[in-house]
Amino acid sequence: MAKKVATRRELLVRWRGIEEVIGDGGDDVLPDTPKRRRLQRLKEDWFSDAFNFLIDLPSEDHIWCGSWELMGPLLETFYNYSTDESNDSPLKLLWKRMSVEMRKCTLCISQHHQAQDMYSMEYDSSSISPLLSVLRSLDEERVGQHLKEINARLAGGEYIPERDNAEVVSVMFENIGNLIHLKKASYVFLVYK
């Protein structure tokens, strides 16, 4: 019997339920308690269903544009990206798809970085820094590879403005956004120094 695919609405309702359990102290209970194990199981099931839902979206439905409220919590799973050795794991497939979408969509880029900013504001830096470091590294690799590909097209005379302008705009948008973010971080450092 095939497993029923969760809908976007069902996933949102289930995540709100998980947040309520966490809000009631569910995330702070001892690791070996039944409540903690139940919460962990709920989250694992939700992550699995959310991965399947997002990966199976039609290609015209961008993950960050249309399902940012699902993708936001799912960022937590990227802690494990570097230890995931399978190239076709849900995590790697999701990253690959988001990377393709962010090549041409500034809204996807914006939502992706806003989610990271939300994590850095809402969580203690000592606990969230490893995740943000992984995401920054993935972003640097993604943008660097994209720039190399655009430059190769330009150098090889294969650049077609009608096809490639959206990619140039997106990569510029992301790089300018990163510069602004770095400038803000430097300013904050100087103020608190």
Question: Domain coordinates of the chain in residue numbers?
Answer: 82-192
Structure tokens of 172?
């510029």
Q: Could you give the angle at the alpha carbon of 96 between the alpha carbons of 13 and 57, nearest 5°?
A: 40
Q: What pTM value is reported for the model?
A: 0.82
Please determine, for residue 2, whether its predicted confidence score (pLDDT) is greater than 60.
no
192 to each of 128, 133, 186, 189, how far by Cα in Å? Answer: 20, 22, 10, 5
Range 22-31 average pLDDT: 60
Confidence of residue 3 (pLDDT cuts 50, 70, 90): low
Q: What single letter denotes the amino acid at residue 118? A: M
Distance of CA 86 to the CA centre of its chain: 18
DSSP state of 145: H
